[in-house]
Structures are given as structure tokens and as C-alpha cells.
Amino acid sequence: MVVQLEHVSLRRNGNWILQDIQWDIKKGENWVLFGLNGSGKTAILNLVNAYNFPTEGKITILGMKFGKTYLSEKLRKQIGFVSSSLQEKFYPSDNAFEVVLSGAFASIGLYETPTDEIRSKAISLLENLGCIEYANRNYETLSQGEKQRVLIARALMSDPLLLILDEPTNGLDFIAREQLLESIEKMAKSPGAPTLIYVTHHVEEILPVFNKTLLLKDGQVFAKGNTNTMISSEQLSTFFGLPVQVFWENNRPMLSKLQTIEQ
């Protein structure tokens, strides 16, 4: 089991943000965590990353039970995390290559001298993710889409067993989004790829490699299972409380509403 959440609940300022979450992620599965704004997606990720501890319930990640202790450095490196909120944390003067290299040391900024092996690994990840041509550019000069790809390459430097992609297409235009999704699909299909969790509130971004989906609503699991059953007109109409239609084209879903939404 890669991730196991057993009856997990989280309370903040007197409110239950998550309630009784049951979620098992097995090797060979890639999950979409789908929910509207405020449904608790970030709260779940913060638990899986061990940034927060649950108020109730048990969490086991990569065979390690989380208690009220810090994660070992080793386990921390086995969980990759890519989020647009990370983009602000790098030193503007670091180039893309240095940002990727820093992933080998789980550091922001480069303080250790990378070995030749680490350097060649960074180069091949930059190539695989289609960012080699801007490897020497300052990170701050890259577009949002370019930054996201560099961050994925960085996360892969430590050979994570679990990689969390938190709304990675935020702020991307259609072309940049599709390019990023293609890179993610290629990476997910490559040998030794990590188990993926893809967090989104856009149905259109769900790639065929994401065979499982958890629908999160108001801090609770609304439903979970195979993506094609979860992302269906029937299931999503109940989920949104609004009649919607899901169309599948080239193994990708598209969503359209069937009536006006009352404000």
C-alpha cells in the first residue's frame, strides 16, 4: 500500500475540515483528487505530506505510520510535491538547472556540490520533460508552464515513490496546459514512475493514466473508484447538485452543464 488513510478527520478552529476519510492507494494506481474550492483537498495533501497531523484516525504512507513525530528525511524525499505555491520559494537568480539539481538534496537553493551522476540525471530529466533548452535561464524568467515542468523534474530527482501534483496547470493557457499534461502522461508511463496523486477541480485535465478518482465534497469522501465511473454524467450531477453531462473524447472527459446555475 502506498497511502492509507483510515477514518481520518481534521478539526481547525472548532470546525471539522475533514471527516472520516478512508482512502487506500495501491501501487499501480494513479489517483485524481477531485473537489470544488474549499472541499478540503489542500487539507488532505497537508496530511499526506505530514505537514499536519490528523485530529482523529490513522495515516500510513509508504509503510510508515504517521504519529506525532517528524518524518524521517528518507521518507520526506520519497514523497515528491509539485504545487504552484512552491514557485515563489526559489531564489530568483538560480537557473532552471540549479533548481532541478537542488531536488537531489531536498533543499531550496544549492548548497552542496552535485556529483557528475546527479548532474547527468538532472540533464536527462530536463530533456524528458522538454525543458533542456531553458536549463540555463534564470528561474524567474520562465513562464508558468515552464516553471511547472522544471518543478516536476526537480521532484523526480530524488526518485520519489509518491508524487503529488497539486493543481499543476494553474494559470496555464490551453497550449501550455496540454503540453504540461503530455509531459505528465509521458512521465507516468515511463519505467519506475512514481505513484501519482493529481489534485484538480477541472474534469478536462484528467488523463487516461489516472485510473482512480476520489470525489471530495465538504471535507468528506463523496465517492471513490474507477475514474470512468466517477467521472460520469450521473455521478457528477449528484456531486455538483446540478445536472451536467460528461463527454469522453480520446479518453479525456469534458463537462457541460445542462441548466442555469442559481447564484
Ligand X SMILES: Nc1ncnc2c1ncn2[C@@H]1O[C@H](COP(=O)(O)OP(=O)(O)OP(=O)(O)O)[C@@H](O)[C@H]1O
Site of interaction with ligand X (CB under 6 A):
12-13, 15, 17, 35, 37-43, 201
CA distance 26 to 24: 6
> Which alpha helices (H) appear in the chain, and where do they start and end?
41-48, 73-78, 96-102, 116-128, 144-156, 174-189, 227-230, 233-240
Choice between 41 and 154, CB closer to ligand X: 41
Shortest distance, position 47 Cβ to ligand X, whole Å: 10
Shortest distance, position 36 Cβ to ligand X, whole Å: 7
Choice between 40 and 114, CB closer to ligand X: 40
Shortest distance, position 216 Cβ to ligand X, whole Å: 7
Q: Nearest CA to 132 among 100, 86, 163, 87?
A: 100
Shortest distance, position 107 Cβ to ligand X, whole Å: 26
Shortest distance, position 57 Cβ to ligand X, whole Å: 16
Q: Which residue type, as a one-letter code, is found at position 216?
A: L
Choice between 39 and 213, CB closer to ligand X: 39
Shortest distance, position 133 Cβ to ligand X, whole Å: 32
CA distance 242 to 261: 8
Choice between 38 and 67, CB closer to ligand X: 38
Tell the residue number behind the cell numbers 537568480, with chain if given.
93
Contact 6, 16 (CB under 8 A): no
C-alpha cell of residue 203? 474534469
List the beta bridge partners of residue 16.
11
Choice between 14 and 192, CB closer to ligand X: 14
Q: Which residues contact 260 (CB under 8 A, 6 or more apart)?
A: none
Choice between 30 and 200, CB closer to ligand X: 200
CA distance 177 to 182: 9
Contact 198, 212 (CB under 8 A): no
